[in-house]
Amino acid sequence: MKQPARRQFDEPDLLEIQEEVIQAVQADPEKFFARYKAFPQSFGGRYVNSDLFKETFEPYNRSKESRGRYNQAVHNSAATLAAEQFRRALQEPKEPGKDMVILLTGIPGAGKTSSVMKDEKMPFQVHAIYEGQLAVPEVALGKVQEVLDAGFKPFIVVVHPIPEKALDNTFHRFNTEGRGASIETMAKVQGEMTTGLMAVLDKFGPDRVQLQITDRRKDYFDPVTLEGWEHLPVLRSEGNHEQIRQRLERRLEARRNDISDDAWRQAKGLAPLGEIQSSRVAGREHESNLARPEAPGGSREEAVLTRSSPARNPARWMELDSDISREISDHMAVQSALAHLGEDIDTLREAAEGRPLNDAQRQMLRDGWNGRLILGDDRLTRLGELAYSTASKQLAAPERQSPEISEQERQDLAQQRQWQQRQIQSRNIAQREEADSKAQELTRKIEGLKEQAAEIKAGETSEPAKQERIEQLHKQERDIVREAPQEVRARIPKRDRGLER
């Protein structure tokens, strides 16, 4: 396995985290492969994605803030592990009827995973899927050659939305997960995609490599499937690297007032500041106060530096199970989540500490998660997910179950709850994307009314006639806003409301 390349950063903490992760990967890479294969969404390591590999790094995965802050610092380590995992997946024995390997690519925020997964399952005929960028000819040629050398059929799938929609999706992902994408990277990937694919076509020809384009430009949720290399020019429809970059710059500035400063920074290619950097600047003394005790063998995990609720002692949470405690210590800091979920927090704590939950407590956790869908607060998402997954983990833990439940029943229950959790999350994301799309449509209608009002004011009709017509436009605007659902109305920028009289 190749060693991860080191990048240059101006921020000391990014250099520190980069070095920490590289050293850990070099010391024990098998630990990270095992963690990755344990993720349900990796399908035992047959779905290879460098972004998912980042979740195996503890410094990155401690909180939403740390994922935003250290996304670039851990990127090369994740990419190195993903390349090796893909090589290993290709070496696994070929099962009957599974002779295809998908190379999945597209601009960040395109919705690549959902484009190939049906009912959260890999297609039957597919041996493995590699999700990554193929804009660079050397990379694209190398991946295709790997697939052919292993005796499989390469099938390239490109997901192709308009870049502005993809950028909006990265904002949403940054708000919910902490991981976004820079507009420079997005422009390069989409603007130079045909360069890498043309190199593949020239070297291997259309018979050895198949191409499919999932065209999401007209309707993001009902894409058109285009099969065959004759459709390759479609990928040039949104412009070249520079043209797409300029479009994304305009979109970013148009959204400047309704996204956070950290979301704006990551889109500009800058590391978000967030609470991680603020805590580090405050000094190491705070870190040592929250750090977990030295573990046997001399290893130690750093605590997440966040604001804590006055009603809770963060040190106590640091003594709980490592993965769960880091999440709890982070999300206990979210005051609004504490206010909304109330006594669910005590139930959540009992679950994390390993105490058996009764049916009422389990239902309370699920109600807390489902209630968050109504509240519509992104900050409740992670806490709700944690509550639900905590209950699932307890169901899956043999020592916490009554003896009359079989091992197979425990596994079935755990898998069912994991599936339910993913379904709820996917449905919620789809609802938010639909609301965003509807808000954009209504905003365009309001802009059209503004243009009509301006034309009327500049016209030669009498002043009373102008006022009457403009008042009619005002009524149309009020009706548009009033009749829109709350979740859509909240997404219409306030500066776009209100016609000039």
Report whether pLDDT(19) > 90. yes
pTM above 0.85, yes or no: no
At residue 261 the predicted structure's pLDDT band, cuts being 50, 70 and 90, is confident
Does the structure show a pLDDT above 50 at 149?
yes
3-state SS, residue 103? strand
Distance of CA 269 to the CA centre of its chain: 17
Q: pLDDT band for position 258 (50/70/90)?
A: confident
- Among 32-36, 93-97, 181-185, 457-461, the range scoring the smallest mean pLDDT is 457-461
Of 53, 243, 221, 233, the closest CA to residue 130 belongs to 53
Distance (Å, rounded) from C-alpha 279 to C-alpha 287?
8
89 pLDDT higher than 90: yes
State pLDDT tens for residues 71-87. 999 999 999 999 999 99
CA 110 to centroid of chain Cα atoms: 11
pLDDT score of 327 more than 60: no
pLDDT band at 457 (very low <50, low <70, confident <90, very high): confident
Does residue 302 surpass a pLDDT of 50? no
pLDDT at 247 > cutoff 90 = yes
Is it the case that residue 330 has pLDDT exceeding 80? no
Residue 208 has pLDDT above 90, yes or no: yes
So what's the pLDDT on residue 452?
Answer: 87
Q: What is the pLDDT of residue 305?
A: 27
Give 332-348 pLDDT, tens digit per residue.
333 333 333 444 445 55
pLDDT tens-digit profile of 475-484?
Answer: 888 888 878 8
d(C-alpha 86, C-alpha 46), whole Å: 8
First to last CA, the chain: 67
460 or 101, greater pLDDT: 101
- Cβ atoms within 10 A of the Cβ of 33, count? 18
* Highest mean pLDDT, choosing among 20-24, 64-68, 118-122, 258-262: 20-24
Q: Say which DSSP state 158 is in.
A: E
Is 404's pLDDT higher than 60? no
If one compares 45 and 359, the residue with the highest pLDDT of the two is 45
Residue of higher predicted confidence among 384 and 452: 452
Check residue 406 and give its pLDDT. 60
State residue 380's pLDDT score: 41
- The pLDDT of residue 294 is 34
pLDDT of 246 reads 94
pLDDT band at 359 (very low <50, low <70, confident <90, very high): low
Q: Give pLDDT, residue 240.
A: 93
DSSP H or E stretch at residue 105: strand 100-106
Q: 214 φ, ψ to 5°?
A: -95, 100
| CA–CA distance, 129 with 291 (Å, rounded to integer) | 39
Confidence label for 488 from pLDDT (cuts 50, 70 and 90): confident
The band of 408, judged by pLDDT with boundaries at 50, 70 and 90, is low
Give the containing element (helix H, strand E) for 104: strand 100-106
Instruction: Give the pLDDT of residue 325.
Output: 35
DSSP 209-236: SEEEEEE-SS-TTSPEEEESGGGGGGGG
Q: How far is 114 from 161, CA to CA, in rounded Å?
A: 13
Among 287-296, 352-361, 365-374, which stretch is predicted with the lowest mean pLDDT? 287-296
User: Of the given ranges (61-75, 213-227, 389-403), which has the lowest mean pLDDT?
Assistant: 389-403
Confidence of residue 421 (pLDDT cuts 50, 70, 90): low
Amino acid present at 293: P
Specify the higher pLDDT residue, 168 or 318: 168
Measure the CA–CA gap between 126 and 154, rounded to whole angstroms. 10
Task: Report the mean per-residue pLDDT for the chain.
Answer: 75
| pLDDT of res. 485 | 80
Q: Lowest mean pLDDT of 325-329, 363-367, 387-391, 486-490, name the range.
A: 325-329
